[in-house]
Amino acid sequence: MKTMRRIVADVKAAIQNNTELTPLLWQLICHSPQMPLWLPQKELLAKAETGSLKVFDQYFTQRELNFNYFIWGEGRRKIMLTHGWASKAADFIELINALLTMDDVQVIAFDAPGNGKSEGALSNLLLYVEAVKALLKHIGTPEVMIAHSLGAMANVIALNDLKVAPRQLISITPLIRVKENFKATMNSVGVPEEAQEAFFEDFRKRFDDHFSHFRLTTLYNFKGLPHFLAYDEEDHIAPFEYLQEFLSAHPDVKSKAYNGAGHDRILKNEEVIADVLSLLE
C-alpha cells in the first residue's frame, strides 16, 4: 500500500503543478496493491501443493513472468478460483476451507502476475487472462470455475479464447465494464477529464485497443451454461446499474443479492459461502 500512496501523492502533485500525467496514470491504473499475508493465510498456503507457470508480458516488461499456483486435495472434482484486482489466492481462505469440507474435491487457485508473490510490478486484465489460460492448459478444464471481481471477466475471456467451458460458473461481484472502472479510479484522485482522455488514447495505442472497451455483457456468450452470480446492490466498485445491463442481456444467469456484503468482504460472507456449497453439492 505504501507504493500506491506514493503514486496517488505523485498524481495529485502533478495535477497541482500542471505537469505530464500519463506516465503516472499508468502506474495508478496498473499497480496492484499487495497486502501481506496473515497467519491463517500462510498456514493455508503451507498445506497446498505449489508450482509456477509462465506467461509472456507483452505490454510492460516484454518478458516471461512466473506466477504461482496452489492445489489443495486430490479429489476428482476440480474447482478453480480466480481472484480479483489487488488480491491473491489466499484471499479466498474462507471459501477454500469450506470447499475442502466437501467430498472428492480438488481446489486450485493462483496469484496473477503482479499480485501476491507472483512476478510483475504492474498488472492488467490481459495478464490475468493469460494466467487463467496457462493454468487451464496445465490442469485441464475444471468442473467448476469461481471468480471474484476482475477475475470473472478474465475467466470469460480465457474460456472464449480456448473454446472450452466448465460445467458450472460462479461469479462473485464481477466487474462488468473495465474502462468505467479506470475512470472511477482517476476521478477518485481528481484527474481532469482532458488528462483522462490523453491516458485512454495512449492506452489504445499501447494495447491496440485490445481490451480498453471490454464489457462482460458483450463478451459473455455461454448460453445454457449453469452460472450463478452473487452481487451487492450497494457495490460502488461493480455498480448495480452495469450488473442489471448484464443480467438483462443474459437472463439464463441466476443471481442473488447479498446487500451490505461489500465488494471484497463478500468473499467472507457466510451466506455466500453456504450458497456456493449448496450449488456444488
Domains, the chain, ordered by start: 1-31+178-213 (no CATH), 37-175+215-280 (3.40.50.1820)
- For 111, phi then psi, to 5°, come to -100, 115
**Cell numbers that stand for 133 in this block:** 489460460
Q: What is the mean pLDDT of residues 197-213?
A: 83
pLDDT > 70: percent of the chain: 98
- Nearest to residue 126, comparing CAs of 208, 235, 245, 234? 208
Tally of helices (H runs) and strands (E runs) in the chain: 11, 8
Q: What is the mean pLDDT of residues 242-255?
A: 97
Average pLDDT value for the chain: 95
CB–CB of 97/275 below 8 Å? no
The per-residue b/e assignment along 139-149, b for 16 or more CB within 10 angstroms, e otherwise, is eeebbbbbbbb
Q: How many angstroms separate the first and last alpha carbons of the chain?
A: 39
pTM above 0.85, yes or no: yes
What is the pLDDT, as a whole number, of residue 212? 62
For 61, residues 6+ apart whose C-beta sits below 8 A from its C-beta are: 120
Residue for grid cell 466448465: 166
What is the pLDDT, as a whole number, of residue 208? 79
